[in-house]
Amino acid sequence: MSTMPRFHLAFAVDDLSSARDFYGRVLGCAEGRSDAHWVDFDFHGHQIVAHIAPRHEEADVASAGTVRGSTVRDSTVRDRVVNEVDGDDVPVPHFGLILGWDAWHELAARLKAEGIRFVVEPHIRFQGKPGEQATMFFRDPSGNAIEIKSFQDEAQIFAK
């Protein structure tokens, strides 16, 4: 086993075929075990599992308009809350990876070539500040938000 613990994340999707295409072909994640209702992917050494689950409404959040200062974008659970981070509306919740600098740029170019619609376009945030990073946000076909980021200096990952 790796010296670093591996992360596991299970998340809801609307359709396994679309999830397989997106995570497998577009993001390049190898498929692991699967069943009629779920599929494992190797997310750069971490296990993510797409589970079929219908969308549902949360009336208390949907009727609130804002959640702790964040804007409600629409009535779907997977596209509801954003928080401002260095001028960008960052979707909450989201998951993602920290890639190497070159790998981040290669993935950004590949996603653009695939016609992926970005929630936050690939760019550098916190420029000239602690934690300077390349970042991009996009959604999978089921609306799950994903962030891919990179640091030229990995010592900045937890910088204050």
> Euclidean distance between the first and final Cα of the chain, in Å?
31
Q: Which domains does the chain have, with CATH numbers?
A: 8-52 (3.10.180.10), 73-156 (3.10.180.10)
| 70 burial type by CB count under 10 A (0-12 exposed, 13-18 middle, 19+ buried) | middle
Its pTM stands at: 0.83
What is 66-129 written as a DSSP string?
EETTEEB-SSSGGG-EEEEETTEEEEES-EEEEE-HHHHHHHHHHHHHHTPPEEEEEEEESTTS
> What is the residue-level pLDDT of the chain in tens, covering all 160 positions?
568 899 999 999 999 999 999 999 999 999 999 999 999 999 999 999 999 997 654 434 443 443 434 444 444 555 569 999 999 999 999 999 999 999 999 999 999 999 999 999 999 999 999 999 999 999 999 999 999 999 999 999 999 8
| Residue 117 · residue 125 · CB < 8 Å | no
